[in-house]
Amino acid sequence: MDERIDDDRPTVSAWPILTAKDHEAPSVFRPEALLREARRQKGLPTAPVPDVCVLDPDGDLVRHLKRIGAVRTHDGWACYHTELLTFSLEAAGEVGIVGCAVGASFAVLLAEQLFASGCRLLVSVTSAGQITDSGPTPYFVLIDRALRDEGTSYHYLPPALFANAPDAALLDRIGEAMSDLSGVVLHRGATWTTDAPYRETEVAIASAHRHGALAVEMEAAALYAFAVARNRPVVCLAHVTNTMAQSEGDFEKGEADGATATLAVIATTVRAWSHTSG
């Protein structure tokens, strides 16, 4: 019988997000099974995705690559919800990219399917709002931990304040490589991952700031929880572009809607990973 309080609401210990979670148990519903059935229904070939794949929640990078004719459709991608495009990137060869992968649960759904399809490194570059003033926007944050103010991470790891990046040494190498990147400002630190961007209240923002969050975004905590639980290489970056529309002229990303800088950041990340990945 559930533990309850006087007004018949369940206590914290009985909340569904925290109960009936065996984090070591395999899932009955597997990404491989979904992809198998999607391939059957759509008549798709079994074709691995590129070793390196990118999540582009805003879709600006995908739109830029389409405008310049630099992408093609991956014919073997069996996801029901998205298309996987590929493009050539210096130091990485062919890279896969999924646009508009917004939010924790959707990002992890795609991460599960990408790794089940042959991905070896997943990079997420999401736009973010400034929590701690680190200088004029835009700039990037190499996320090393994320406040878990979303739901998906609790299905992968036991409750904790933060989800940490799975490979701190990789972040060290990326940060060192980024220091030589001209025209890109990079900070390293924590973000706040929320499922509810339009509930970023003064109280919630102040709490995130007290916990050391540099920015707020919608995917990193869940992606890092998945990465730790599944032992998968995932790197999350926040492109801090705004102060939550508190003044006119916000949300400017820079040249080509930020695509030029974002491609340079992704290429540097891939080089740092490839030097030790074998």
* Structure-token pair, residue 218: 């919608």
Distance, CA of 115 to CA of 126 (rounded, Å): 19
Give me the architecture of the 50-244 domain, per CATH: 3-Layer(aba) Sandwich (3.40)
Task: Indicate whether 1 pLDDT > 80.
Answer: no
Q: What's 64's DSSP letter?
A: H
Task: Indicate whether 110 pLDDT > 60.
Answer: yes
> Over the chain, what is the mean pLDDT?
92
pLDDT 10s digits, 215-241: 999 999 999 999 999 999 999 999 998
If you average pLDDT over residues 44-55, what whole number do you get? 96
Distances, alpha carbon 187 to alpha carbons 25, 140, 250, 263, in Å: 37, 6, 20, 17
pLDDT 10s digits, 124-179: 999 999 999 999 999 999 999 999 999 999 999 999 999 999 999 999 999 999 99
Task: Indicate whether 200 pLDDT > 70.
Answer: yes
Which residues, other chains included, contact 40 with Cβ-Cβ below 8 Å and sequence gap of 6+?
A: none
Predicted confidence at residue 205, as pLDDT, reads 96
Beta bridge partners of residue 193, listed in sequence order: 148, 217
* Structure-token pair, residue 208: 């995130």
Of residues 99 and 5, more confidence is placed in 99
Predicted confidence at residue 249, as pLDDT, reads 62
Domain range summary for the chain, segments of one domain joined by +: 50-244
Task: Indicate whether 277 pLDDT > 70.
Answer: no
pLDDT 10s digits, 19-36: 999 999 999 999 999 999
Percent helix, strand, coil in the chain, to 5, is: 35, 25, 40
Burial of 278 by CB count in 10 Å (0-12 exposed, 13-18 middle, 19+ buried)? Answer: exposed
Which residues, other chains included, contact 155 with Cβ-Cβ below 8 Å and sequence gap of 6+?
A: 21
